[in-house]
Structure 1
Amino acid sequence: MIFTLFGDYIRHYDNVIWIGSLIRLLEEFGHNEQSVRAAISRMSKQGWVQSEKIGNKSFYSLTDRGKARMEEASKRIYKTEHPSWDGQWRILVYTIPENKRHLRDELRKELVWSGFGLLSNSCWITPNPLEEQVNLLMEKYDIHEYVSFFDASYIGMNNEEDLVQKCWNLDDVNDKYQLFIQEYSQKYVIDKNKIEKGELTDGSCFVKSALLVHQYRKFLFIDPNLPQELLPTRWLGDSAASLFTDYYNMLIEPARRFFKNVYEQGDIQRFQESLKE
C-alpha cells in the first residue's frame, strides 16, 4: 500500500513525506503506527526509499531505483493502448553460478515483472523492446558476465501463438481479469450512485481509490503486456483497463483533496523544523 501511495500521490508532491503524515494516511486502511514504521523500514533496507532527518522528525522519499520502478509501473497501470510490435523477439539467457543463487532468484522476479516469459531453463523471451530495463538489471546485480541478450526472429517450428502459450499462461491471467471485472463493475455502480447523492466522504474516496490501484497493480506481476497481435481473441485485459480507468477517474478528485489536506500538515512540520536549524 505504501508503494501505491508513493506511486499515485507522494511522487507528485516533491517526492517526500513526513512519517507522521504517512501514518495518518494508512490509519484510513486500518494500519497502526508500528506496522507502518516496520514497513517503511523494510522498504528502506531494500533500497526503495531513503530517509532524512529534519530536526527530530523523519521524512521519506523514493530513491532513484524507487523512482524508476514507479515510473515504469505508472506507464503500465495507466496505459491507453498496447505496445506496438516490430515482429522481433528479445531473448535473455543466463548462466549464474550456484554460489550466486540469490542473484538468480532476484533476476527471475525482475524478469517476470518486466513481462518476460520462460521459454526453457534459464532462457527468457519477450516481444517488447526492453533493452533499457535489461541494462539496468545488469548494472543493478552486476551480472554482465553471466548474461547474453539477443534480438531475433522466430522462424518455427510452430506458430507464434504456440510460442506465446508455451511462455505465458494467458488463460489464467484472463480468468483473473474476469474476476476483477465482476467484482469492481458492481462496486463502480454502487459508488457512482453514492457520489451522485453526496454519500461518500473524501476520505472514503481516498481509501477506495488506493485499494482499487493496489488491486489492479497486481496484474503487473502476471500480465506480460503483450502486443495486440499476440493476444488471444477473447482478451479481457482491455475491458478491465477501461473499468479501472472509469472507476479511478470518478474517485481521484475527492481522493486527492483528502491526501492534500493530510500532506500539507506534514509540509508545515517540515517547514517548522527547518526554521529551528
Structure 2
Amino acid sequence: MTDLAAPVTEGVAAETPRPQALLLTFFGGHVLDQGIHVATASVLDVLDRAGVSEHATRSTLSRMARRGLLRRVRQGRNVYIGLTPHSRAILHDGRRRIWEAGAVNRHWDGTWTLLGFSMPESWQRQRHALRSRLLWAGFGSLQSGLWIAPGTVDAAGLLDGLGTDGHVKVFQARALPPTHVAEVVAEAWDIERLAGHYRAFLSRWRDPEAQAPDSLARDLLLESDWLQTIRQDPRLPREHLPADWPAEPAQELFHNLSAELKPAANAIAAEVLDTITDAEADRLAAR
C-alpha cells in the first residue's frame, strides 16, 4: 500500500485562493460576532497582503453583496461592510467545521445515509446539480444512482430548491454481513486523492513565512487553505481508513500554526481595520 503520509513531489504549490474564500475567512475571523462593520479600504488592504488585487477584491465584494452575503452602508466617502443572516450562518458552519467537527471522524455510530435517485434523461441540469451537492455534502457514489455518506445527513436541506421531489429516496442504514465497510469505503471514495489533499497541505505549510509577508495574511491563507482541504473530505470513519492517514498530522500542523499566528494577526488587524459598530451602521442605513 502507498504511504499516505509521504510527502508529495508534485502538485504541492497551492493554487491562489479564490478571493471569496479569503474574504469569508477574513469576515469569519475579524467581523463575525464582533458587532462591527469594516471599511472597504481596510478589506482591500488585508486582501492585498494576501496577494489579491484590488480589482479582484472589489469585484468579489460586489458579487457577494448582490448574493445577499454582505451589507454595505456609507458614511461620508467611506463604505462599510457588514454581515447578513445568510453569511453569518455560512461562517458559523465553517467555524464549527474547523474547530468542533475537525478532520478526523472518531465518533462514527455505524449509521450511513443512503440516497438513490432516478430522473428522466432530459433532466441533465437537475442531475448535475444534485451530484454536485452530493459531492459537497460528503457523499460517494456506491453504484449507478445510489450514493452513500457516513452518519446522518440533512437530506431536506441538501435537496432544497432542486425540484426533484418524487425522484429521490433517502434512507438511514447499517452495514450487515457479508458487507465489509472497508470495501464500501474503497469503492465509493478515492482514498488516495483525499489523502493527497492532506499531504499537499503538509508540504505547503512546512514554511509558513514563505506564504505571505505578515502574520495577518499568513493566518488568512492558512485558515482558508485548511477549510478548503477539509471540505473535500467526507470525514470517513477513522477505523476504516489506512493507519497512516495524513489528516491527523495535517490537523495538528494547522492547530499549531494557527495558535502561533493568531496573536500577531489579531494585533495587526486591530491596528489596520477601520470599523463602526453595527448600531452605527443601522443608523446610517435608516437615513
TM-score of the pair, normalised by structure 2: 0.77
Map of 1:242 onto structure 2: 252
Greater fraction of residues in helix: 1
Residues 83, 228 of structure 1: 8 Å contact kept? yes
Map of 2:5 onto structure 1: none
Q: What value does the CA root-mean-square deviation take over the aligned residues?
A: 3.1
Matched, 1:175 2:196: yes
Structure 1 runs of 4+ off > 6 angstroms? none
The answer for unaligned runs of 5 or more in structure 1 is: 192-200
CA gap 1:237/1:261 in 2 versus in 1, 3 angstroms: same
CA gap 1:272/1:112 in 2 versus in 1, 3 angstroms: closer
1:228 to 238, 257, 270: 238
1:52 to 72, 79, 94: 72
Q: Where does 1:260-275 land on structure 2 (aligned, <5 Å)?
A: 260-263=270-273, 265-267=274-276, 271=280, 274=283
Map of 2:87 onto structure 1: 66
Superposition deviation, residue 32 in structure 1: 3.3
Identity %: 23
How far, CA to CA, are the matches of 2:35 and 2:272 in structure 1?
Answer: 15
1:87 to 110, 116, 121: 110
Superposition deviation, residue 238 in structure 1: 0.7
Structure 1 counterpart of 2:49, one-letter code: E
Matched, 1:27 2:48: yes
The answer for unaligned runs of 5 or more in structure 2 is: 1-21
Higher deviation after alignment, 217-226 or 53-62:
53-62
Map of 1:206 onto structure 2: 216
Provide Cα deviations, 1:181-237, integer angstroms capped at 9, x if missing partner.
23323x15x69xxxxxxxxx9x71001111111221221342111222222221110
* 3-state SS of paired residue (1:42): helix
Provide Cα deviations, 1:68-120, integer angstroms capped at 9, x if missing partner.
33222222222455252221211112334555543433332332222111112
How far, CA to CA, are the matches of 1:83 and 1:41 in structure 2?
Answer: 41
Structure 2 counterpart of 1:130, one-letter code: V
How far, CA to CA, are the matches of 1:61 and 1:97 in structure 2?
Answer: 43
Structure 2 counterpart of 1:23, one-letter code: L
* 3-state SS of paired residue (2:132): helix
CA gap 1:248/1:229 in 2 versus in 1, 3 angstroms: same
Structure 2 counterpart of 1:120, one-letter code: Q
* 3-state SS of paired residue (1:12): coil
Map of 1:198 onto structure 2: none
How far, CA to CA, are the matches of 2:182 and 2:43 in structure 1?
Answer: 46
